[in-house]
Structure 1
């Protein structure tokens, strides 16, 4: 039997849909029927959705979309936070009124998402939102948090390590830098000269990327670098190799390099995301929110995300109706 919250769902809802693949210009807000939760599923009334570079990559063209099993009309966004308002038969551990966060692959920017209660992957999952974590923050955790956790695992980071993190100020870098510090590592993070204070605030020793990177890193780490994560391209991989870091202690997330592990959220430990939320609740990990946009400004939000210049996460608000 379904259980529904006292706040009954309206007859229609809003969702961002695409009738063609492309950039922010193809994102359209549509009225849609309110989805129903079947056996083993929950329905979540979304209050906030966090954007990631993957959202744009997945919907940029038909070939990219096909790799993720997407077809038109497609939704947009994966990270979400909200409140359970309908529970299908057989669901335990979640009830109407529970605050949750998680992932709904390319469909999170909508008033409602239906999630398999035992989904367990970034494409389809729900976790209790801890007290002390607001929905804006919870809506940024899934993709970037999972990916950062997987990167730390891939390089076996621990106390005594000095790790070079390329793209340290990006969406994944925000988590990777802080998780590396929590693990006991000394962090050197690449970024633009203007991002130096921002990186210091996250706990990284900043270093400018581009020509001369290896020499600048050597000056900051005279005892050597023991691990590296390239969260942007391949520059950090090549620098790490020149610095003597073995391939089994280097990883990428955005590109593939022969001999180097490619980390992604699908390889994250089962409890990693809940651990990240706990660290946020305890004040040990913070998530900078670069900007929040109402749903009606979804194209503006997507354009800022695509620019890759935002320092912190971008959130779309879905409370207003």
Structure 2
């Protein structure tokens, strides 16, 4: 099969389109014929060696954790799916080597759910990591109907999902973003505020009594500012600042979860979760996808088209 492979740590220049052996399918896994693979910042960070201290990473490495595709074979104890099922998933395994930037991927059933019928292959591939991150961080701080939620980096890949999920739960959402993204946030159901100096005052103008929960997808001083505004300082989750735990909040590292993926699919099919794909590139242009992701200026998702997509 064709796959993007890496043989050493480095930048986008290390990515090569090569022929590799088809993956083996374990008892609790299925073989997925990949239609599209989502691109996330963690992908280029792994290739750069930034996660070497916390994960076992092996070369040659096929990057990628997000996938949308069709089940082509089923393991001996993988009765959750059948050949021909259309699936999407966050295929993060305990060790990093056999990723989703490939024509085929062996995916444990715990990492998959059925693809939302309302989404294209490209959109479905853009959901798993970012959507699960948003879902699980909001769950960690107990967002519910009637809450006022502050979402930092609300126009980004994770933030846009968090806004829509919180709105679907019946929450009021205040989202930070640059002014050029304010109309985009309004279209998702959020009240936008500009980040930077004076953020706390701008949020207080919208919510004089404070906010009920906050989620941080950007780092910096977001946790500290949020705790100035929170009624309960423990209702803050961050994916970008591990020190949040020292301040009484929650540090979130997204986990594969079939049930959570199914909930995201349900929201999408109910018309409550839209996926903005900024750019879809062919597999051979994975290096360009890395460059775009590293720029930090994308709104929505970047995906790689691997197989034929309708």
Same fold (TM over 0.5): yes
Partners in 2 of 1:71 and 1:246 — Cα distance?
Answer: 43
User: Aligned runs of 1:1-321 on 2, under 5 Å?
Assistant: 13-61=1-49, 64-105=51-92, 107-117=99-109, 120=110, 125-257=111-243, 258=246, 259-266=248-255, 271-319=259-307
Partners in 2 of 1:18 and 1:313 — Cα distance?
Answer: 23
Displacement of 1:253: 0.8
Partners in 2 of 1:153 and 1:167 — Cα distance?
Answer: 18
CA deviation vs aligned residue, 1:17-41 (integer Å, no higher than 9, x gap): 1111122121111111222324333
Q: Name the counterpart of 1:8.
A: none
Displacement of 1:66: 4.5
Larger displacement relative to structure 2 (306-315 or 27-36): 27-36
Partners in 2 of 1:176 and 1:204 — Cα distance?
Answer: 10
CA deviation vs aligned residue, 1:79-124 (integer Å, no higher than 9, x gap): 001011122323313222111111223511100001223xx2xxxx
Partners in 1 of 2:30 and 2:36 — Cα distance?
Answer: 17
RMSD: 1.8
1:81–1:138 CA contact under 8 A, matched in 2: yes
Partners in 2 of 1:282 and 1:244 — Cα distance?
Answer: 31
Moved over 6 A (4+): none
1:39–1:90 CA contact under 8 A, matched in 2: yes
Larger displacement relative to structure 2 (140-149 or 37-46): 37-46
**What TM-score does the superposition give when structure 1 sets the normalisation length?**
0.89
Displacement of 1:286: 0.5
Partners in 2 of 1:269 and 1:318 — Cα distance?
Answer: 24
Displacement of 1:270: 5.4
CA deviation vs aligned residue, 1:49-91 (integer Å, no higher than 9, x gap): 0011111222211x62342221222111110010111223233
Change (3 A) 1:27 1:235: same
| Local SS of the residue matching 2:234 | helix
User: How many pairs align?
Assistant: 301
Gaps of 5+ in 2: none
Displacement of 1:132: 2.5
| Local SS of the residue matching 1:225 | coil
**What TM-score does the superposition give when structure 2 sets the normalisation length?**
0.92
